[in-house]
A and B are shown apart, each in its own frame.
Chain A
C-alpha cells in the first residue's frame, strides 16, 4: 500500500511544455484512473511516475519518499504497456519470470512463483510458448503476469485494453479490477475511454492539455463536472452546452428563450454556459428542437438537432417508429442545470437559497 503524491510536476520537451504543473494525491490502495483526450499528457504523467521520463520540475513521492532521482527499478512500480511490450525472444514463462531472474531469485523459486501467477491468469498451458504464438488477450494476460510477479507497491497501466476487441475489453476490465481488490496495491490506469474510467476507478483524474481539470469519484465527475471541459468530455453523448446571458437571479436567456435556473446570484448581462445532459432533458413541452438526425441505440434514442441555433441533443425512450420527426418538444428542469463561467469555464455552484446570503453579496 503506497500513497503517490505529485507536487507541482511539470514536463517540457525542449521549449515545449506538455505538463503544466500537476498537483495530485493518490491514496494508498486506491484505483486511480487518468482520463483525457489524446495528447493531453496522460502517458507522460504515468511515465514520470514510473521513472521512464525525467521530471522537469516538481516532485513525485511514493510512500512519502521522493523518487525523482530513482531508477525505475528502485521505485517499486510495475507497468503494463499498451502494446504489451513482451520480450519476443523469450517464452511466456521467461517473460513473466524475467524480473525475478534479474533480481537473482533462484531457479526453483522462480519456477514456483511463475507457476502461481500463470495459474491465477489461466496461462499455465501457454508457459512454453513465445509471445508471437498467443492471441491478443493472452498476450495481455502475460503482460499482467509480468507486472504481478514482482508484487509491486504500485501498478501502472497505460491503456492496456485498447488493442482488445470490445467483449474481451469488458472481461479484462473486470479482471483488472478484481486483481486490484485482491492485491491491494495502488493502481494508476491511463485511458481515454470514459466507460473504462467510470467502471474501474475509485478516483478519476480528468486531464486536458497538460492540466488536471478535476479529481473526484466517478459519480462526482459525472454529477458535478468542475469545468466546462469535464462536462463536455464525460457522458455519451456529452452534456449539451449552451451559450446564455443572465437575465435575472434565477433566469438566463438562450437566444430568444428564457430559462429558469438555480439561484446563481450573478449580475444581469453576464455571459455563461448552461449545461444539461441529454438524459436529464424532460419531455414535457416548452421548448422546441429542430431535429437534424436520430441515433437509435435500442435501449434509448438520441435526437440531435438545434435549439436557438445551438447544437442540442435530447434522449428519448425507445420507439417503434423509425421515421425522423421534424421537431421535438422538450423542457429543461432548473435542478438539472449546470452553470459554467463563459470565460474561465469553471463551474458556478448555485447559491443555496435556504442558507442566509452573505452580508456583502
Chain B
C-alpha cells in the first residue's frame, strides 16, 4: 500500500495547486477550447459574431486534396526522421557505451544539438545545404544542378528531415545510452565468452535489451516531428518548393495566419491533436506493457 500525505483541509490543498492549475488552464485548456470553438464556427465575411456550422470545416478539410498530401508527407517525414535519427543515435550510443578513449567528451557533444532551438538548426542547415556555396557548391560545380533544394522538392524535404533527425539525435542518444548502460555488464561478458564479437554482441544482446527504449523513442520522435518541425520549415523552405515541404503543422500555419482562415486552421489543429493523442494512448496502452523482460 502506497503511503501518501493527505489533506483534510481541501481549501489549503486547492490553494497549493491553484498556480499550477492556472498555468495549465491558461496555456493549454483555454487555447485548446478556443481552437475547438473556431473549428466548429465560421466568421462571417464582414465581421460579427461567429456562426456555428457543425462539422462543415472538417468536411472542407477532408475534401481538400492538399490536406491529404500534407498528411502523407507528414507521415513520410515522421517515419523517415525517426528512422534516421534513432538509427544514427543507436550507433553513437553503442560506441559511446564501449567506454573508448574520450567517451565522456563525446557523450557531452552528442547531446548538445538537442539544446539548439529548431529555428537555429534550420538556419544552420540552410547555410550548410545552400546550393551555391560550401560543400554543395563544390558538388554543384562538378555536376551542375545536382543539388538544389529550392527547386527540387524531394531534396528540400530530405534536407528538413536531416535537420530534424540531427536535432533529435542528441535526445535519442541520451536515452539509448542510459538504456545500454543498464544492460548488465556480465551478460555482455558472457556473450563474449560464448564467442560473440563486438558487433554480434551489439545485435544479439544490447539491441534486444533496449527495445523498450526504442519503442519509447519511436513515439516521442514521431510526435515531435509532427509538431516541432515548424520552426525548421519556416526558416528553411517556408513549405516550398511548390508545397513539397508543407507538412500538417506548416499547413495549419499557412491556412490560419497567411490565408487568415482561422476556422480551417483550427479544424486541422484539432485533427493533429487527435492524431497525437491516439499515438500517446497507443504508447501507454501497448508499448509500455508489452516490451519488458522481468
Residues of A within 8 A of B (CB): 50-52, 71-73, 77-79, 81-83, 85-89, 98-99, 102-103, 130, 132, 146, 150
Contacts and interface: CB of A to CB of B under 8 A. Distances in A.
A50 B204 CA distance: 21
Most buried by B among A81, A82, A85, A99: A85
B189 A81 contact: yes
A87 B191 contact: yes
Interface stretch (B121-129, B138-146, B192-200): B192-200
A127 B254 CA distance: 60
Contacts of B189: 52, 72, 79, 81, 85
A83 B195 contact: no
Contact of A85 (B186, B195, B208, B209): B186
Nearest to A79: B193
A52 B195 contact: no
Contacts of B294: 88, 132
A78 B191 CA distance: 10
Contacts of B194: 73, 98-99, 102, 146, 150
Interface of B: 184, 186-187, 189-197, 200, 204-205, 208-209, 293-294
Contacts of A146: 190, 194
B192 A130 contact: no
Given A83-B184, A132-B294, A103 B190 contact: no
B184 A85 contact: yes
A77 B190 CA distance: 11
A52 B187 contact: no
A81 B186 CA distance: 7
Given A77-B193, A79-B189, A86-B187, 5 more contacts: A73-B197, A78-B193, A85-B190, A86-B190, A102-B200
B195 to A, nearest CB: 4
A81 B190 contact: yes
Contacts of B208: 89
Question: What 3 pairs between A and B have smallest CB-CB spacing?
Answer: A73-B195, A85-B186, A99-B194
Nearest to A75: B193
Given A87-B205, A89-B293, A102-B200, A79 B195 contact: no
Contacts of A130: 293
A72 B201 CA distance: 13
Contacts, number: 64
A73 B209 contact: no
Contacts of B200: 102
B165 to A, nearest CB: 28
A73 B190 contact: no
A222 to B, nearest CB: 33
Contacts of A150: 194-195
A142 to B, nearest CB: 11
B191 A103 contact: no
B293 A132 contact: yes
Given A85-B187, A87-B205, A89-B209, A72 B293 contact: no
A5 B195 CA distance: 23
Contacts of A52: 189, 192-193
Contacts of A86: 187, 190
B14 to A, nearest CB: 45
A83 B205 contact: no
Nearest to B293: A88
Nearest to A103: B195
Contact of B195 (A82, A88, A89, A99): A99
Contacts of B196: 73, 98, 102
21 contacts: A52-B192, A71-B192, A72-B189, A73-B192, A73-B196, A73-B197, A77-B193, A83-B186, A85-B189, A86-B187, A88-B187, A88-B294, A89-B209, A98-B191, A98-B204, A102-B194, A102-B195, A102-B196, A132-B293, A132-B294, A150-B195
Given A102-B200, A130-B293, A132-B294, A87 B190 contact: yes
Contacts of A82: 186
B215 to A, nearest CB: 14
B151 to A, nearest CB: 48
B233 to A, nearest CB: 40
A86 B189 CA distance: 11
Contacts of B187: 85-88
A83 B195 CA distance: 19
A83 B189 CA distance: 12
Contacts of B209: 88-89
Contacts of A88: 187, 209, 293-294
Contacts of A81: 186, 189-190
Contacts of A83: 184, 186
A132 B196 CA distance: 23
From B189, B193, B196, B294, name the one whose CB has the most chain A CB atoms within 10 angstroms: B193
Nearest to A77: B193
B239 to A, nearest CB: 44
A103 B191 CA distance: 12
Nearest to B186: A85
A73 B193 contact: yes
A82 B189 CA distance: 12
A81 to B, nearest CB: 5
A286 to B, nearest CB: 54
Contacts of B293: 88-89, 130, 132
Nearest to A88: B293
A93 to B, nearest CB: 14
A52 B230 CA distance: 49
A77 B194 CA distance: 9
Nearest to B196: A102
Contact of B192 (A72, A89, A103, A132): A72
Nearest to A143: B190
